Amino acid sequence: MSIYSQDSTASRKFSFFGYPFAYYTPETRFAVGAGGIATFYLGKDIILRPSKVTLSGYYTSNKQYSISFVPQFYFYKNKYFFSMDVKYEFIVDKFYGVGSDTPEIPNPEYSANNFYVTVEFRLPFTSRDDLKLLFDYKNFRLADKKSNPYLLNDYADFTKAKTLGLGFLWAWDTRNSIFFPTDGHYSKLLTEFYFKEIGSDYDFNKIEFDIRNYFPLYEINTIGFQIYGKLARGNPPFYELPALGGQYLMRGYYQGRFRDNNYFAAQVEYRRYVWKRIGFVLFFGMGNVAHKFNEMRIRDMKYSYGFGMRYQFNVIEKVNLRADFGFGKNTSGIYFGIEEVF
């Protein structure tokens, strides 16, 4: 549904759109939810981007749930930007220990309550709009260790933790579409520092980089490449360690099946529409975790491959519904969602 204000400029009216959604991943299983997004302008500058406020929530078949509130505001010719992501969730996750060769265990599950807030703020100290200041807060509470042997032994005294961090995010984006890019480049560098002096229970820092390139082939074909890395230094809690797997990288592996201080992965994806709004993708990836970054070896890399189907439900913005089938070594996963994985 849509609600509009009485504004003389049609394209700059207040609007609200509500929507239901559903998806599936091995981590959440089947999920249903609903959300709403309000868009508006905080000024009359012609170049000013629209601000928005998003509210959403979901419930899954394994009794997880999440509620999130995300406002994003643009001010004064886009020179100032403020964004906040507030979320409360109950998760059912798995922990297999730390390392690149942790074995399968019969009882890896645990449950936890999370509350976190992430704030981004851009000041006009550069001529580009790609450098932002960050504030990150997370409150993690174990609800049930269940029969997880690592949480009952190695982390026997661990029940809750809070982390507070400060950092910056730099991004460079030349993609021709944020929903279905067929040409251009995207790069991101994020670094955050967590200190006990500002209230964090742990001292550590994180560095994350994400590099993507897209190449069009004969109009209806696209090749996409992605290189990703995440490094943790100091003494992070186990749930903050970089985690391999999930619906975006190394599809086919449960997200967090392997965790350690350093995570590196790369993937390539071939995309094509074959008939009207129907398309498909083929993908291949490789990655691994290691305690030290110089311990990464090509011969030790884990591999991910698979295929997916696409249906373009929004032709103007090129937004796809997706279904991916990913495979790894002695593992597989099915993923349903909206938009491309990268």
Q: Which DSSP string do the residues of 120-156 spell out, in sequence order?
A: EEE-S-SSSS-EEEEEEEEEEEEEE-TT-HHHHTTTT
Residue pointed to by tokens 């990464």: 296
Name the residue among 185, 182, 186 with its Cα closest to residue 223. 182
Which listed CATH number (2.40.160.50, 2.40.30.170, 1.10.760.10, 3.90.850.10) goes with 79-338?
A: 2.40.160.50
> What region does 313 belong to: left with phi over 0, alpha with psi -120 to 50, or beta?
alpha
Q: How far is the CA of 229 from the CAs of 98, 211, 265, in angstroms?
A: 17, 9, 6
pTM for the predicted model, two decimal places: 0.85
Per-residue pLDDT of the chain (342 residues; tens, 9 = 90+): 434 344 444 557 788 888 888 889 999 899 999 998 888 889 888 888 888 899 999 999 999 999 999 999 988 877 888 999 999 999 999 999 999 999 999 999 999 999 999 999 987 665 555 788 999 999 999 999 999 999 999 998 999 999 999 999 998 989 988 889 999 999 999 999 999 999 999 999 999 999 999 999 887 899 999 999 999 999 999 999 999 999 999 999 999 999 999 999 999 999 999 998 999 999 999 999 999 988 999 889 999 999 999 999 888 778 898 999 999 999 999 998 888 999
Q: How many CB atoms lie within 10 A of CB 163?
A: 23
Name the residue among 230, 261, 238 with its Cα closest to residue 150. 238
Q: What angle do CA 308, 289, 114 make, to 5 degrees?
A: 80
Q: What is the pLDDT of residue 242?
A: 97
- pLDDT tens figures, 101-112: 999 999 999 999
- pLDDT tens figures, 234-282: 999 999 999 999 999 999 999 999 999 999 999 999 999 999 899 999 9
Q: Where are the domains of the chain?
A: 1-72, 79-338
